Amino acid sequence: MTAAEHAEVRPSITTGPITGSRKHYTVTASGFRVPSRRIELSNGEHFDVYDTSGPYTDPDATVDVHKGLPRTRESWREGREHNTQLGWAKAGVVTPEMEFVAARERVDAEFVRSEVARGRAVIPANRNHPETEPMIIGKNFLVKVNANLGNSAVWSSVEEEVEKMVWATRWGADTVMDLSTGKRIHETREWILRNSPVPVGTVPIYQALEKVGGDPAKLSWEVYRDTVIEQCEQGVDYVTVHAGVLLRYVPLTARRVTGIVSRGGSIMAAWCLAHHKESFLYTHFEELCDILRAYDVTFSLGDGLRPGSIADANDRAQFAELETLGELTRIARERDVQVMVEGPGHVPMHKIKENVEREEELCGEAPFYTLGPLATDIAPAYDHITSAIGAAQIGRYGTAMLCYVTPKEHLGLPNRDDVKTGVITYKIAAHAADLAKGHPYAQDWDDALSKARFEFRWNDQFNLSLDPDTARAFHDETLPAEPAKTAHFCSMCGPKFCSMRITQDVRAYAEEHGLTSVEAIDAGMREKAKEFTDRGAQVYLPVVER
Amino acid sequence: MTAAEHAEVRPSITTGPITGSRKHYTVTASGFRVPSRRIELSNGEHFDVYDTSGPYTDPDATVDVHKGLPRTRESWREGREHNTQLGWAKAGVVTPEMEFVAARERVDAEFVRSEVARGRAVIPANRNHPETEPMIIGKNFLVKVNANLGNSAVWSSVEEEVEKMVWATRWGADTVMDLSTGKRIHETREWILRNSPVPVGTVPIYQALEKVGGDPAKLSWEVYRDTVIEQCEQGVDYVTVHAGVLLRYVPLTARRVTGIVSRGGSIMAAWCLAHHKESFLYTHFEELCDILRAYDVTFSLGDGLRPGSIADANDRAQFAELETLGELTRIARERDVQVMVEGPGHVPMHKIKENVEREEELCGEAPFYTLGPLATDIAPAYDHITSAIGAAQIGRYGTAMLCYVTPKEHLGLPNRDDVKTGVITYKIAAHAADLAKGHPYAQDWDDALSKARFEFRWNDQFNLSLDPDTARAFHDETLPAEPAKTAHFCSMCGPKFCSMRITQDVRAYAEEHGLTSVEAIDAGMREKAKEFTDRGAQVYLPVVER
């Protein structure tokens, strides 16, 4: 089914550049056009940032959601139909996707290949999703952010979900997951896939459950298999599979404060107990590998027994499942299928590091993909913040992708504003992790904004921020006048009194007199003191009055 | 000057209990009434949380902002006029304030005394601020949060600042700082002091600068001394003093990306260079100690050379000043004056721990009081989040009090909504730190909310959260109906499909059949499988349909 068959669906989507920046393309050796967002600065310099927004922010691109995005990667795959990124990487071949990703991450293509070959990074790119701009997920690359979308039985429409996808990638979502559980699951997914510039992930068990009327006991390998094939054919790039929820692990959750909170995990637990059989996801895992390999779809091994509260973090049920995920990771890799491993959830700060260490040890450094984790449970309505505190830290320790949490987590389904808040909050967590890991590009971005701040280049400061519109709007609340955007004072202190202004004068003075060392300052300062006092009289005259 | 003399000022303040809770008092051995906030739960239990809101949330209290709060501590100080909390603690005496604090923190009074005696905790309580409810700041107590208030030359009024103070303490601010820099500094402070149930801090150099027309070169020890005495007389509980900004350190900031960003630090740096003299705050520090001791005002030794950007974190200028703050800490303690030490600012995650370790080593574990720190500079308008990421971690490592940051940081002055967002965000960071430090009270709170969530006690979940009103409002957006507040499903999944619901059934089943261990589940499960399948049919009938 194509988007065109749904002409009655009329999504209104957001297009046009983000304030203060424009689309910029770098052309690789093979002629691939790699996008970035170029921020032009008032001092004549510019700063390029990683761009996930696709053609929607390019005024020169024609966008028709009924036709879908251009199928750019279609031509790339010729002669490569029968192998995966992992397969080619093992064979020493640098694929077009690897070349594209290398330019995007500003690293060598051979390094990308070697990281994919050893399974420490994945490039989720279903060959039936040619609209996607290749990206890589791995601890030695920029930390990525996923945004969850999807309507449910109680709420939301196809149109809303398509705009949420465009909106989420506009603000920096590196992948999106369609978690729809209501009606029109296939149709919603079709609209998202044909229009998504980023990889799309799903949890096939949700649709399979709909097919059997919502009763997990009625699920079967056959129904699940057909659902996975349907989704792979459609172009889904990665699928969450809760194949680690084994019959013998289920009772380990009985004494938890919050039992099993993963939807997929609870469905499989119910099935296992109902039939007293081992999970069909586990017993048929090799067949599942064969299906995914045929499309180069990436596994995201789900943590169905992840903790749902601070009290349950790092318990036996969670780590027992992780061991099984490690076993499944090895099986998939042997079959050239790319693998990510999912992680918690709800974890107090002092137990975060252990999650990364165990995952790397048990799963051979497969890219770790965590939900938050929330560092406390007492702040529903602020769980984007409670979880960003955990996400930044787990990212610092090596987690490759962070699944965002919106302010509505635990309370309701996110609207468009919640999606933006969630994405920006998680870009902060991911970037803070990149900084702590010593990523040169991350440091450059902070330095560029800090320099603009110190030099009172207000518009540059706004444009270099993750959300230029809100930064400018907040400044306008206190100092709306346009001259204030170039004034040598900030709204915190006012014109008469500004620490940065004083500092600039102290600095200019120190530089002017070569007072850049402890020794220098003691040399002949006294006669220069008066001179400074004279200049000091000017210090407090705001530029706007000059 | 008393509040009554300002009858023309008409602050409208927020009173009444926080939704779902009521004021509760515990009476100590000496008869002191220690407040807490009691949350009544629908299962007949209740949960008491630490309460900073003062009489404003007590319907039985009469509030008149023109008279000010009751001067409760006035009677406590008899016979203790001539010594400080530190002095009495050293002498082995448990003061009324220590007894009050012990009940509030649920620890032994002797433990409070010993922590104060060794300088590892402070009780900021000016004997001229009898309206305050004593609280303690130290690494072995609950992590505290400060909210900054204060109008500037460009914005805000006395009325607004008084309401901001009441509003900030309502949501959990443990102390407030009045950083007013405009006109009416004394008057604004008087209104805040007479009506504040929490300790009030200031930065006297701001008012001193106003007195000399805003030119730092015109400042003198005499002007500063008189300003400090004026503020101590008024009842200020702690004062930030940037006495560590020494002449020889100033040039160390010349090559920074953002120079000197502390207002007090830049003022003193300008003075030092103008006169080529050592800071009068440093050369007159002993006299300053004598003044503060006379009122039992606590030092908050300011970090005037703190980094203003990620690039400048942990540099030579910052740590050189910290060494001097350690020297000043020893001098003040010898004179029985309580001391806190202030910290950054802007620090990437991997450099946070070193800040706490150095402060504890150089300043003899004096309570560390940090501003954030921001873990990245690229998100103005979201700096409450960038800084909460850093604050939670620095709190975990031992910082005793966290100075909040609002969404308006670097952009403008916070309004009432920003103040609430900043306080709630920092309560999250402080609580996450308490959890990571293994505080039993913190874990109990998380468990209480998680249990309510798991048992679908929606109203209990809202009422146990840091912001019940917003949590409930978000739930209403998706499921407004009152029955939904008791429905056995959550709005994320809808009635037909809910992981927590499935888990409850799995759990009930496992418990019922004694399947709480790996061994048990393998014993005679098969015959019980059919029975579960029969019950399974009910699993998806929502309670509201029964």
**Which tens digit of pLDDT belongs to each residue from B480-493?**
777 667 666 665 55
Note whether A493 contacts B540, CB cutoff 8 Å: no
Annotated ligand binding at A246? The verdict is no
- The H or E element containing residue A470 is helix A468-478
Which residues from chain A sit within 8 angstroms of residue B215, using beta carbons? 536-537, 539-540
Note whether A263 contacts B520, CB cutoff 8 Å: no
Integer angstrom CA distances of residue A10 from A162, B174, B369: 10, 51, 54
Interface test with A, best of B385, B421, B425, B451 (most A CBs within 10 A): B385
**Smallest Cβ distance to B536: which of A217, A396, A496?**
A217
Give chain B's end-to-end CA distance (angstroms, integer).
67
Q: Is the model's pLDDT at B2 over the cut of 70?
A: no
User: Exposed, middle or buried: residue A218 (CB in 10 Å: 0-12, 13-18, 19+)?
Assistant: middle
Closest chain A CA to residue B466: A379
Note whether A497 contacts B209, CB cutoff 8 Å: yes
Q: Which residues contact residue A479 at a Cβ distance below 8 angstroms, ignoring those fewer than 6 apart?
A: A487, A491, B154, B412
**Chain B closest-CA separation from residue A212 CA (Å):** 12
Check if the beta carbon of residue A140 is closer than 8 Å to that of residue A120. yes
Which residues from chain A sit within 8 angstroms of residue B154, using beta carbons? 478-479, 491, 494-495
Note whether A385 contacts B425, CB cutoff 8 Å: yes
Which residues from chain A sit within 8 angstroms of residue B500, using beta carbons? 258-259, 261, 266, 308
**pLDDT tens sequence across B153-183:** 555 678 888 999 999 999 999 999 999 887 7
d(CA A366, CA A458): 42
**According to DSSP H, which parts of B199-262 are helical?**
204-211, 221-234
**Chain A closest-CA separation from residue B58 CA (Å):** 23
- The H or E element containing residue A300 is strand A298-301
Note whether B431 contacts A378, CB cutoff 8 Å: yes
Annotated ligand binding at A463? The verdict is no
Phi, psi of A50 (to 5 degrees): -55, 135
Q: Nearest Cα to A138, choosing from A26, A290, A298? A: A298
Closest chain A CA to residue B524: A276
Q: Is the model's pLDDT at A523 over the cut of 60?
A: no
**Chain A closest-CA separation from residue B128 CA (Å):** 29
Domain ranges of chain B: 116-439, 487-539
Annotated ligand binding at A303? The verdict is yes
Check if the beta carbon of residue B264 is closer than 8 Å to that of residue B205. yes
User: What is the SS3 string spanning A309-340?
Assistant: CHHHCCCHHHHHHHHHHHHHHHHHHHCCCCEE
**pLDDT tens sequence across B56-80:** 999 999 999 999 999 999 989 777 7
**Smallest Cβ distance to B428: which of A209, A255, A385?**
A385
Kindly indicate the confidence band of residue B543, based on its pLDDT and cuts at 50, 70 and 90.
very low
Report, as an integer, the average pLDDT of B34-39: 98
CB atoms within 10 A of CB A374: 34
Strands B121-122 and B200-202: unpaired
**pLDDT tens sequence across A240-284:** 999 999 998 988 888 899 989 899 999 999 899 889 899 999 999
- pLDDT of res. A491: 57
- pLDDT of res. A388: 98
Q: Please tell me the pTM assigned to this model.
A: 0.93
Helix, strand, coil: what percent of chain B each, to 5? 50, 10, 40
- Rounded to 5°, the CA angle B91-B94-B95 comes to 105
Note whether B376 contacts A435, CB cutoff 8 Å: yes
Note whether B152 contacts A209, CB cutoff 8 Å: no
**Chain A closest-CA separation from residue B137 CA (Å):** 22
Note whether B450 contacts A308, CB cutoff 8 Å: yes
**pLDDT tens sequence across B402-455:** 999 999 999 988 999 999 999 999 999 999 999 999 998 999 999 999 999 988
Annotated ligand binding at B465? The verdict is no
Note whether B532 contacts A411, CB cutoff 8 Å: no
- Lowest mean pLDDT: which of A404-418, B192-206, B340-354? A404-418
Q: Which residues contact residue B31 at a Cβ distance below 8 angstroms, ignoring those fewer than 6 apart?
A: none
Q: What ranges make up the beta strands (E) of B100-196? A: 121-122, 137-138, 144-149, 175-178
d(CA B391, CA B379): 16
Q: Which residues contact residue A311 at a Cβ distance below 8 angstroms, ignoring those fewer than 6 apart?
A: A256, A257, A258, B443, B446, B447, B450
DSSP character at residue B296 = T
User: Exposed, middle or buried: residue B39 (CB in 10 Å: 0-12, 13-18, 19+)?
Assistant: buried
Residue corresponding to tokens 């920074």: B256
Residue A202 CA, distance from chain mean position: 15
Kindly indicate the confidence band of residue A11, based on its pLDDT and cuts at 50, 70 and 90.
confident
d(CA A174, CA A172): 6
Integer angstrom CA distances of residue B246 from B273, B359, B360: 10, 18, 21
Give the alpha-carbon dihedral of A234, A235, A240, A242, to 10 degrees: 50
Integer angstrom CA distances of residue A111 from A114, A227, B492: 5, 36, 41
- Rounded to 5°, the CA angle A398-A402-A403 comes to 155
Note whether A516 contacts B308, CB cutoff 8 Å: no
Annotated ligand binding at B490? The verdict is yes
d(CA A62, CA A57): 10
Task: Identify which has the larger pLDDT, B491 or A403.
Answer: A403
- pLDDT of res. B312: 97
Closest chain A CA to residue B508: A254
Which residues from chain B sit within 8 angstroms of residue A516, using beta carbons? 251, 254-255
Q: Nearest Cα to B178, choosing from B268, B239, B245, B241? A: B239
Annotated ligand binding at A493? The verdict is yes
Which residues from chain B sit within 8 angstroms of residue A405, using beta carbons? none
Helices (H) then strands (E): counts for chain B: 20, 13
Question: Options 3.40.630.10, 1.10.12.10, 3.20.20.540, 2.60.40.1120; which CATH number does A116-439 get?
Answer: 3.20.20.540
- pLDDT of res. A241: 98
d(CA B545, CA B434): 42
Annotated ligand binding at A206? The verdict is yes
Q: Is the model's pLDDT at B239 over the cut of 50?
A: yes
Annotated ligand binding at B304? The verdict is yes
Amino acid letter, residue B357: E
**Smallest Cβ distance to A385: which of B255, B310, B388?**
B388
Which residues from chain A sit within 8 angstroms of residue B412, using beta carbons? 474-475, 477-479, 491-492
Kindly indicate the confidence band of residue B524, based on its pLDDT and cuts at 50, 70 and 90.
very low
- pLDDT of res. A399: 98
- pLDDT of res. B495: 57
Interface test with A, best of B347, B376, B386, B527 (most A CBs within 10 A): B376
Strands A21-27 and B298-301: unpaired
Q: Nearest Cα to A285, choosing from A248, A244, A231? A: A244
Structure tokens at A489: 């004072």
* Buried b or exposed e, range A337-359, using 16+ CB within 10 angstroms: bbbbbbbbbbbbbbbbeebbebb
Strands B368-371 and B339-343: parallel
Which residues from chain B sit within 8 angstroms of residue A457, using beta carbons? none
Which residues from chain A sit within 8 angstroms of residue B270, using beta carbons? 502, 505-506, 536, 539
Give chain A's end-to-end CA distance (angstroms, integer).
66
**Chain B closest-CA separation from residue A177 CA (Å):** 15
d(CA A387, CA A406): 9
Which residues from chain B sit within 8 angstroms of residue A533, using beta carbons? 217, 274
Which residues from chain B sit within 8 angstroms of residue A479, using beta carbons? 154, 412
- pLDDT of res. B181: 81
d(CA A271, CA A278): 9
**Smallest Cβ distance to B507: which of A259, A262, A520?**
A259
Closest chain B CA to residue A513: B251
Which residues from chain B sit within 8 angstroms of residue A254, using beta carbons? 506-507, 510-511, 515-516
d(CA B180, CA B89): 33
Note whether A309 contacts B454, CB cutoff 8 Å: yes
Check if the beta carbon of residue B7 is closer than 8 Å to that of residue B64. no
